[in-house]
Amino acid sequence: MASKIKFNSDKATERDGALYTKFKYENSIVSTDAATGSLQVTPTSVDYEFKVDLKVPKLGLMLVGLGGNNGTTLQAAVLANKHNISFENKEGVVEPNYYGSVTQSSTIKLGVDASGNDVYAPFNSVLPFVSPNDFVVGGWDISSVPADKAMKRAQVLDVDLQKKLRPYLEGKTPLKSVYYPDFIAMNQKERADNVINVDSKGEVVTDRKWADVEQIRKDINEFKTANKLDKVIVLWTANTERYADVVAGVNDTADNVVQSIKNNHAEIAPSTVFAVACILEKVPFINGSPQNTFVPGVLELAEKHQSFIGGDDFKSGQTKMKSVLAQFLVDAGIRPISIASYNHLGNNDGYNLSSPLQFKSKEISKQSVVDDIIDSNKILYNDKKGKTIDHCIVIKYLNAVKDSKVAMDEYYSELMLGGHNKISIHNVCEDSLLATPLIIDLVVMTEFFQRITYKKELDSDDKYENFYAVLTLLSYWLKAPLAKPGFQPINGLNKQRLAIENLLRLLVGLPVNNDLRFEERLL
């Protein structure tokens, strides 16, 4: 396997370009005794065999919103790293890097050395991953502005870097995208000059939604063929849409959502059109915005076609902090009773979010991040004390700050014997430079998950199964992660990271991670 690390484990065997690993999954099933109310805990175990295809494919990434801040920053990052383009800002020479990316710039614990001290290795050295330097990037945008001018319009990157990247981006225009005016703010209308869904007079129409699906499918196949790609992944980094109403008979089942697209129903959003097109092509689709793209019918369609989906909404700055800090407080036995979050930003995302319906989508995704944390502690949150946190979220558009998003948070908590604790955080972040590494990680990991299959060891045949259609292991990078029906999403950042790390460890035959450190603690 393509790694500088040799794993000496009798649980993992490499043959025919694949890695086969045996793993005993151990857990505990908890039930409640109806008579006494006591909890009954029963350890369980299931034997699995995992198979990892070790061949790294040639990968195409198609972005919806290619000409936006995230889209242009992603293109710039790939080009700067691929061609080793350094540049100068007021602080000196900056070398290209992928800081902020887990897959490219973080490490994973392998074990301990002879003295019992932890040993780490680069995350992407454990197993073969696609390199973002090798991404073939394309996609769609409702704006026809070429990539070099879109990069300038975004006002994210230093001018010296923009000048050096311009020769690679000049004249590159995005594919025509889908624009249904009802779903994004009216202030985006002026940008919408590069649209699929127009009539013979060039006027925007919304009565050809199935034709839009077919055009997107055609675009994906032509992009794949033209660039001689093995795989394509599509990711939505376009404007936040309003929430679509979930209506019985319209978007509640797979058959209904397809028929509703063909009937041009008003509650079919552009992002849903893209998602359905990708599912029908068995191309993974990731939603990086907060709207409910994956209505029940789309989720069922993904299950039916066994096509991967992931979402919702990039978890970059304020919400990532919230998923750590709220977990810390509750795990410490401290009771947060209110969280007040205020944001202002001046990029086009902020401009779009100044519309109330689009803001509502963002508010929902930001609020849900503490739900499972509250549910984890019935001592702090119960019928007597209350089962919720008073959670307020405000987002304001302020043109002057451009891409430097300002976030201010106050966590107000109850301590013992009537005491209180207040934590205030002021966080200024360059929004697109935080979000773009998340795009890289989502794409790298989604492609990797496509190469993993498994079977229960008790199964007699050699049929290996893919992961479930909703890639819940992507939750680390997403504010409002999807979950399999019947399961609650996990929002705690440390839990999400541990799940990914342990998956990589078990795939190479290592035990799941723990911090017992018996080497140090026992005689």
Catalytic residues: 313, 362, 405, 479
Cα angle 335, 338, 340 (rounded to 5 degrees) comes to 140
For residues 177 and 194, the answer to whether their CB atoms sit within 8 Å is: yes
**SS3 state at 328:** helix
- Which tokens is 299 given? 């989720």
How far is 316 from 434, CA to CA, in rounded Å?
6
Cβ-in-10-Å burial (0-12, 13-18, 19+) of 497 comes to middle
For residues 414 and 337, the answer to whether their CB atoms sit within 8 Å is: yes
For residues 495 and 480, the answer to whether their CB atoms sit within 8 Å is: no
How far is 392 from 397, CA to CA, in rounded Å?
17
Helix axes 254-262, 270-281, angle to 10 degrees: 120
Segment holding 411, helix H or strand E = strand 404-414
E strands, 415-462, are 420-430, 452-456
What are φ and ψ of residue 312, in 5° steps?
Answer: -125, 150
For residues 349 and 65, the answer to whether their CB atoms sit within 8 Å is: no
- Which tokens is 487 given? 């399961």
Nearest 10 degrees: Cα torsion 17, 18, 20, 26 = 160
How far is 425 from 521, CA to CA, in rounded Å?
36
In angstroms and rounded to an integer, the radius of gyration of the C-alpha atoms of the chain is 24
For residues 243 and 364, the answer to whether their CB atoms sit within 8 Å is: yes
